[in-house]
C-alpha cells in the first residue's frame, strides 16, 4: 500500500499522530478535530507495516466500531488481501469482554451460552429485588440509576454502603445468575477476574495484540482502565484518543482523570494534541474554549478554527414561556430561509421539555423529541429481544413471563399466578412441557396454545440463520395484529430497520451481542426524524453535529445543575456546556430566563466566562451579574464604533453592543458632541455620546 497516499489528506498534527514511531501515544482530540480519521488512519498505518499482526481497537458504540472497520478496509485498498482481518478485533469494550468470556469463561465457571441482560431486563430484576425488600419501585424511582452508578465503579458492595444496599446488590447478582445472565458491568468485572486469576491467559492476550487502540478515552470507567492495564505491560504499544473536555458521563463512571493516570502509569507516553477544529466556525470555537479553559484539571491544549465567522447569540428572557417563544421564532426564521438546515435544541434537563413542546405546537417546522423512549425499548423491538432470550433459555421464568402475552393471548397476571401455583418449585416451561405431554385436561387452552407456538419457535432456532428467524417472527407478530391499527405501519418500519441492522449476523452468540450490547449512544432516527428539528438532552447529542444549535435554560442551578455539589461534578457541568456549544457548525443560540417554574433565576456563570465582546446579547442584559465581562465587552466594542452611517432619528430601531435592542427617543447636539437618547427593550432609558457609542441601526422604525 502507499503510505504517502494514506497521510496526504491529513493536517500536520494529524499526520504526526498517525505516523509517530512512539509505541505509546495519547492524542488529545478536541471537538471537531477529526479524531475518528486519526484513529482509523493509525490502525491502517499499523496494519500496513505489520499485516500479519493482531490488533485490538475498542470504542463505545456498535455504530462507531462498524464505521471504524469500514474506514480501515477502505484505507487499505489493495493491501486488504495481506491483512489478517480476523486478527483485528474492532468492537466495544463490552463486546470484547463477551468474546473473551464465551471462549475462556468456563475457567472461572461462566457458561458459554450466557444471556446478556440489557438495561430493560436489568431494571426489571432490580425492581423485583426492591419488592423482595418490601420497597415500592415507584417510590424509589431513582434507586436503579444510583445502583448502576455504583456498579460501574465497584465489583462488590463497597463497605460504606448501608442497608438495604448490600442486600439488594447480592440479591440482584443472585437473580441474574439464576437467569443465566450477565449484565454490562458483569462482562467487565468477570473478564478482569479471569485475567487476574489466569496469568497464562493474561500473558497470551497481552502478547497476541500488537497494539491496543482506544477511542473516546474520556468515557472510560475504572474497570475499563483496569482492562487496559492488564493487557498492556509497561512498554507494550497502545494508541489512545480522547478529549478530557468532553468527559460528560460521570453517572456511568467515566473518569477524565484517567488521562493523568495514563501519563503516570506509562511515563514514556507521547502526547500529541490535534490543533484544528474542522466543524465549528471561529466565534463558536473561541467562545467554547474560553469557557473550558477555566477547568484547572484539564491537560492544556490550544485549538484553532479553520473556518472564520460564525455567531453566538445570548438572549435573556423574561420567563420560560418568553424563552420558548423566542426559540420557536428563531427556528422558524432559520427554516424559512434554509429548509434543509440541521437544527437542534439541546436541554440540560428533561424538565425543560414541556414548555418547549407547548411552544412548538403548530410551528412551521416538524420537530421530534429524542430520547423519551429508546428505539431499542420500543414495543416492536422489545418483542424480538424477549422472544430471542426466551427461546435461548425457556426454562427461565423471567423470559417466559415477558413473552407469554406478546402478542395478546388473553394471558393476564391472574392466569400467570395460577400457573405458578400449579408449577410449584418447577420452572414454568418445565411444568407446561410435562402437562402437555401428559395430556392434562385441566391445563387452560390459552396455555396449551402458547406452548405449541413457542415450541415451534424454539425448534426453528437451530434450523435457520438468526436473520431468517427474526424475519419469520416479525411476520408472525404482524399477522397476529401486534400493536393497534395506528402503530402497525411504524412497527413494520422498525422491523425492517432491525433486519437491516442484523444483515451480517451469522451466529446466535453474534445475534445476542448485537441486540444486547448496544450503548445508549447507538441511537436510530427514522427518515422523517432526520429532517425534523431535534429536541434532546446534551448527553443524547454527544457525537452529533448540527448547523444551528439552541441551548435554552443556561441559568445558575439548571446549567450548571444544582445537584452538582462536588468540585468534579461542577467541572463536569462545564464540560457538558462545552459539548453543547461545540455541536454547532454555524451559529449557537443561548438563552436564559429571569423566571422559571415561578422562581427568580440568574444567568449561568458560564456566560460570564465567554468573550462577550465577540458575541451578540439580546433581551435582558448581563451586566448586573458579570460587570467585569460586561465592561470588557463595551470597551472592546467602543473603539470600532463610530456610530451608525446614516443620521439617527427618533423612532429608529437600534442595537447597542452592551444593552441590546432599543428605540431612539431623541437626538440632540452637533458634530462630535451629538448625543442620542434610547429606550431599551429591557425597560430602561440611556443617553450616549454618539461618536463613542457601540450602536448600529436596524432596519425599520417603531410606529
CATH number for the domain spanning 483: value is 1.10.486.10
Cell 423574561 sits on residue: 318
Number of neighbours of residue 405 by Cβ within 10 angstroms:
16
Task: State the DSSP H helix or E strand holding residue 271, giving kind and residue range, or none if neither.
Answer: strand 270-273
- Please give the grid coordinates belonging to residue 490: 411504524
Q: Is residue 494 part of a domain?
A: yes
pLDDT of residue 401: 93
Same domain, residue pair 13 and 86: yes
Of 517, 550, 577, the one marking the end of a domain is 517
Closest CA to 116 of 137, 132, 131, 102: 102
Which strand ranges, in their side-by-side order, compose the sheet holding 652-656? 685-689, 675-680, 660-668, 652-656, 695-701
Do 168 and 88 touch, CB atoms closer than 8 A? no
pLDDT of residue 641: 44
Same domain, residue pair 545 and 619: yes
CA distances from 521 to 178, 249, 538 (A): 29, 12, 12
Q: Is residue 329 part of a domain?
A: yes
What is the rounded distance in angstroms from the CA atom of residue 44 to the CA atom of residue 71?
9
Q: Is residue 75 part of a domain?
A: yes
Same domain, residue pair 47 and 139: no
Residues of the chain with pLDDT under 50: 639-643, 703
- Please give the grid coordinates belonging to residue 142: 431513582
Same domain, residue pair 513 and 531: no
Do 654 and 661 touch, CB atoms closer than 8 A? yes
Do 287 and 581 touch, CB atoms closer than 8 A? yes
**What is the DSSP secondary structure assignment for residue 308, as one 8-state letter?**
-
The partner residues of 587 in beta bridges, in order of sequence, read 311, 548
What is the rounded distance in angstroms from the CA atom of residue 683 to the CA atom of residue 168?
58
Angle at which helix 222-231 crosses helix 184-197, to 10 degrees, equals 30
Q: Is residue 289 part of a domain?
A: no
Cell 431468517 sits on residue: 468
Q: The CATH number of the domain where 675 resides is what?
A: 2.40.10
pLDDT of residue 288: 96
Q: Is residue 614 part of a domain?
A: yes
What is the rounded distance in angstroms from the CA atom of residue 465 to the CA atom of residue 471?
10
Q: The CATH number of the domain where 247 resides is what?
A: 3.40.50.300
Query: The domain containing residue 443 runs over which residues?
Result: 379-517
Same domain, residue pair 131 and 13: no
What is the rounded distance in angstroms from the CA atom of residue 659 to the CA atom of residue 619?
8
What is the rounded distance in angstroms from the CA atom of residue 135 to the CA atom of residue 130?
5
Cell 463613542 sits on residue: 692
Half-sphere exposure of 504 (CA within 13 A, CB side): 4
Closest CA to 616 of 308, 312, 280: 312
Q: Is residue 626 part of a domain?
A: yes
Same domain, residue pair 135 and 37: no
Closest CA to 584 of 231, 286, 315, 232: 286
Do 582 and 590 touch, CB atoms closer than 8 A? no
CA distances from 471 to 25, 79, 362, 465, 536 (A): 45, 36, 39, 10, 32
Closest CA to 10 of 279, 281, 278, 212: 278
pLDDT of residue 660: 76
- Please give the grid coordinates belonging to residue 621: 442584559
Same domain, residue pair 82 and 25: yes
Same domain, residue pair 531 and 510: no
What is the rounded distance in angstroms from the CA atom of residue 214 to the CA atom of residue 254?
14
Same domain, residue pair 405 and 482: yes
pTM for the model:
0.80
What is the rounded distance in angstroms from the CA atom of residue 328 to the CA atom of residue 351?
18
- Please give the grid coordinates belonging to residue 414: 391472574
Do 583 and 546 touch, CB atoms closer than 8 A? yes
Q: What ranges in 293-368 are assigned the alpha helix state H?
A: 320-337, 353-360
pLDDT of residue 642: 44
Same domain, residue pair 316 and 396: no
**What are φ and ψ of residue 689, in 5° steps?**
-75, 115
Q: Checking phi first, is residue 440 left (phi over 0); if not, alpha (psi -120 to 50) or beta?
A: beta
Of 230, 258, 277, the one marking the end of a domain is 277
pLDDT of residue 612: 87
Same domain, residue pair 544 and 627: yes
Q: How many domains does the chain have?
A: 5
Closest CA to 118 of 505, 382, 414, 341: 382
Its sign, for the CA torsion 282, 283, 287, 293, is positive
* Residues composing the chain: 703
Q: Is residue 288 part of a domain?
A: no
Number of neighbours of residue 88 by Cβ within 10 angstroms:
20
Using only the alpha carbons of the chain, give its radius of gyration.
29
Closest CA to 660 of 643, 645, 681: 681
CA distances from 57 to 90, 144, 211, 691 (A): 5, 31, 8, 61
Closest CA to 191 of 177, 179, 205: 205
Do 299 and 627 touch, CB atoms closer than 8 A? no
Strands in 583-674 per DSSP E: 584-593, 595-596, 599-600, 616-619, 652-656, 660-668
Of 492, 517, 542, the one marking the end of a domain is 517
Do 643 and 622 touch, CB atoms closer than 8 A? no
Same domain, residue pair 199 and 229: yes
What is the rounded distance in angstroms from the CA atom of residue 336 to the CA atom of residue 328?
12
- Please give the grid coordinates belonging to residue 424: 410449584
Closest CA to 644 of 703, 691, 700: 691
**What burial class does residue 671 get, using C-beta atoms within 10 Å of its C-beta: 0-12 exposed, 13-18 middle, 19+ buried?**
exposed
Q: Is residue 110 part of a domain?
A: no
Amino acid at each position: 500500500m502507499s503510505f504517502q497516499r494514506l497521510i496526504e489528506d491529513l493536517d500536520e498534527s494529524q499526520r504526526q499522530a498517525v505516523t509517530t514511531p512512539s509505541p505509546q501515544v495519547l492524542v488529545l482530540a478536541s471537538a471537531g478535530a477529526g479524531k475518528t480519521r486519526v484513529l482509523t488512519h493509525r490502525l491502517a498505518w499499523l496494519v500496513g507495516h505489520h499485516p500479519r499482526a493482531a490488533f485490538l481497537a475498542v470504542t463505545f458504540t456498535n455504530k462507531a466500531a462498524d464505521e471504524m472497520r469500514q474506514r480501515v478496509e477502505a484505507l487499505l485498498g489493495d493491501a486488504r488481501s495481506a491483512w489478517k482481518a480476523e486478527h483485528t478485533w474492532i468492537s466495544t469494550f463490552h463486546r470484547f469482554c463477551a468474546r473473551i468470556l464465551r471462549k475462556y469463561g468456563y475457567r472461572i465457571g461462566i457458561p458459554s451460552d450466557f444471556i446478556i441482560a440489557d438495561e430493560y431486563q436489568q431494571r426489571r430484576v432490580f425492581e423485583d429485588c426492591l419488592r423482595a425488600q418490601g420497597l415500592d419501585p415507584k417510590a424509589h424511582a431513582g434507586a436503579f440509576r444510583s445502583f448502576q452508578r455504583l456498579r460501574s465503579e465497584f465489583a462488590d458492595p463497597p463497605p460504606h454502603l448501608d442497608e438495604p444496599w448490600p442486600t439488594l446488590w447480592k440479591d440482584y447478582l443472585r437473580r441474574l445468575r439464576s437467569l443465566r445472565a450477565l449484565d454490562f458491568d458483569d462482562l467487565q468485572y468477570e473478564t478482569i477476574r479471569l485475567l487476574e486469576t489466569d496469568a497464562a491467559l493474561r500473558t497470551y492476550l497481552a502478547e497476541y495484540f500488537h497494539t491496543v487502540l482506544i477511542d473516546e478515552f474520556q468515557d472510560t470507567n475504572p474497570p475499563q482502565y483496569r482492562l487496559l492495564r492488564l493487557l498492556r505491560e509497561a512498554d507494550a504499544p497502545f494508541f489512545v484518543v480522547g478529549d478530557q473536555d468532553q468527559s460528560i458521563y460521570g453517572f456511568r463512571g467515566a473518569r477524565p482523570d484517567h488521562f493523568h493516570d495514563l501519563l503516570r502509569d506509562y511515563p514514556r507516553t507521547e502526547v500529541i494534541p490535534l490543533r484544528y477544529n474542522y466543524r465549528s466556525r471561529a466565534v463558536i470555537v473561541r467562545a467554547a474554549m474560553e469557557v473550558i479553559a477555566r477547568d484547572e484539571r484539564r491537560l492544556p491544549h490550544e485549538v484553532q478554527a479553520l473556518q472564520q465567522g460564525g455567531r453566538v447569540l445570548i438572549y435573556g428572557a423574561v420567563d420560560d414561556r418568553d424563552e420558548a417563544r423566542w426559540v420557536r421564532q428563531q427556528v422558524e426564521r432559520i427554516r424559512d430561509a434554509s429548509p434543509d438546515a440541521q437544527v437542534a435544541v439541546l436541554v440540560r434537563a428533561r424538565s425543560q421539555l414541556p414548555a418547549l413542546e407547548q411552544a412548538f405546537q403548530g410551528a412551521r417546522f416538524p420537530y421530534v423529541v429524542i430520547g423519551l423512549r429508546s428505539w431499542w425499548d420500543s414495543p416492536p423491538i422489545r418483542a424480538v429481544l424477549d422472544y430471542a432470550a426466551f427461546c435461548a433459555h425457556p426454562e427461565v421464568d423471567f423470559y417466559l413471563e415477558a413473552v407469554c402475552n406478546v402478542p395478546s393471548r388473553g394471558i393476564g397476571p391472574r392466569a400467570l399466578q395460577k400457573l405458578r401455583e400449579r408449577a410449584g418449585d418447577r420452572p414454568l416451561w418445565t411444568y407446561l412441557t410435562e402437562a402437555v405431554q401428559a395430556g392434562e385436561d385441566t391445563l387452560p387452552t390459552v396455555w396449551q396454545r402458547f406452548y405449541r407456538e413457542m415450541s415451534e419457535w424454539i425448534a426453528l432456532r437451530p434450523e435457520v440463520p438468526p436473520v431468517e428467524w427474526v424475519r419469520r417472527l416479525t411476520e408472525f407478530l404482524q399477522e397476529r395484529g401486534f400493536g393497534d391499527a395506528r402503530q402497525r405501519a411504524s412497527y413494520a418500519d422498525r422491523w425492517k430497520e432491525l433486519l437491516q441492522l442484523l444483515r451480517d449476523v451469522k451466529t446466535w452468540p453474534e445475534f445476542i451481542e448485537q441486540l444486547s450490547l448496544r450503548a445508549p449512544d447507538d441511537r436510530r432516527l427514522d427518515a422523517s426524524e432526520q429532517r425534523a428539528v431535534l429536541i434532546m438532552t446534551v448527553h443524547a447529542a454527544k457525537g452529533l453535529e448540527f448547523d444551528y444549535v439552541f441551548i435554552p435554560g443556561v441559568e445558575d442551578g439548571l446549567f450548571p445543575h444544582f445537584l452538582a455539589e462536588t468540585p468534579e461534578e461542577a467541572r463536569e457541568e462545564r464540560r457538558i456546556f462545552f459539548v453543547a456549544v461545540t455541536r454547532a457548525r454555524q451559529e449557537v443560540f443561548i438563552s436564559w430566563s429571569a423566571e422559571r417554574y415561578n422562581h427568580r433565576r440568574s444567568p449561568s456563570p458560564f456566560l460570564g466566562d465567554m468573550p462577550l465582546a465577540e458575541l451578540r446579547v439580546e433581551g435582558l442584559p448581563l451586566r448586573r451579574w458579570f460587570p467585569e465581562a460586561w465592561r470588557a465587552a463595551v470597551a472592546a466594542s467602543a473603539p470600532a464604533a463610530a456610530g451608525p452611517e446614516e443620521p439617527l432619528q427618533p423612532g429608529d430601531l437600534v442595537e447597542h453592543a452592551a444593552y441590546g435592542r432599543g428605540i431612539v427617543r431623541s437626538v440632540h447636539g452637533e458634530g462630535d458632541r451629538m448625543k442620542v437618547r434610547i429606550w431599551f427593550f429591557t425597560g430602561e432609558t440611556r443617553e450616549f455620546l454618539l461618536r463613542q457609542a457601540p450602536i448600529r441601526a436596524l432596519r425599520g422604525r417603531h410606529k
